[in-house]
Amino acid sequence: MKESSSIALVTGVSRDKGIGAAICRILARDGMDIFFTHWGAYDEEDGCGKEEDFPSAFARELEALGVRAAHMEADLSKQDAPAFILGAATQSLGFPKVLINNATYESPTDFRTMTMETLEMHFQVNNRGTIMLSVEFARRFEEVYEEAEDGRIVFMVSKGPDPHNLAYTATKGMLAAITEPLATALAPVGITVNSVDPGPTDSGWITDEIREKLLPLFPSGRIGTPEDAASLIRFLASEDSRWVTGQVLRSEGGFLGK
């Protein structure tokens, strides 16, 4: 097994067809060691369904690409999750240079069904947990690398006029909003900060009915795949992207459903 030049921490990797898994695969092919998190309880109750034994099998798949891989269950709604995740990653593989914030909480909400509890759950995972993981990563990065290095933070964001996804869209909007000021703060530390909006992505949640509605909105005639999003993140995680920071990048194939 070859020694990696970099370690990537990818959150929210629970399903074979998910964007998180696609990100891990493409970064591993580039020689990055991968530490990924997953939270099966969410997938089982609110997500696309829990895939039994996926994390261990997926780690072996990544190792077969010639890199090291490790993983852990992590609930980002817990206040101690950021320190817990970074500690486990460092102990398993070493301190990462790349943080991909892919974990998310999503539960359909419109103005009639929105509750304080639903909004708070979205906030805990999509904002508090994700942002605090990012700033804790930056603090530790600054200690580990005294001189500026090629650190990377990527947020996954969303937007749009969907009236049935108010809490999700609102909290993803906060991540887009913090991208530029956080990038300014972390530039002297050697970390770039960018966000990716992948648009509707066929990662296991799209039914035939939804597909029929979405297809006319993609001028290329197909819906986005997890690999489409992963390809942009591959660039943002690479040395070639060192002059790209503070950006919210749309990788959505010209999607017309703004």
pLDDT tens digit sequence for 182-216: 999 999 999 999 999 998 888 887 888 888 888 88
pLDDT tens digit sequence for 206-244: 888 888 888 888 898 888 899 999 999 999 999 999 999
Residue labelled with tokens 């297809």: 215
- Give catalytic residues, as residue numbers: 168
130, 77 contact by CB (below 8 A): no
Handedness of CA 42, 43, 47, 49 (dihedral sign): negative
pTM of the full predicted structure? 0.93
105, 42 contact by CB (below 8 A): yes
101, 120 contact by CB (below 8 A): no
Q: What is the pLDDT of residue 45?
A: 61
Map out the domains of the chain with their CATH numbers. Answer: 7-250 (3.40.50.720)
Q: How many CB atoms lie within 10 A of CB 146?
A: 8
Q: What is the mean pLDDT of the chain?
A: 92
| Alpha carbons 191 and 153: distance in angstroms, whole number | 7
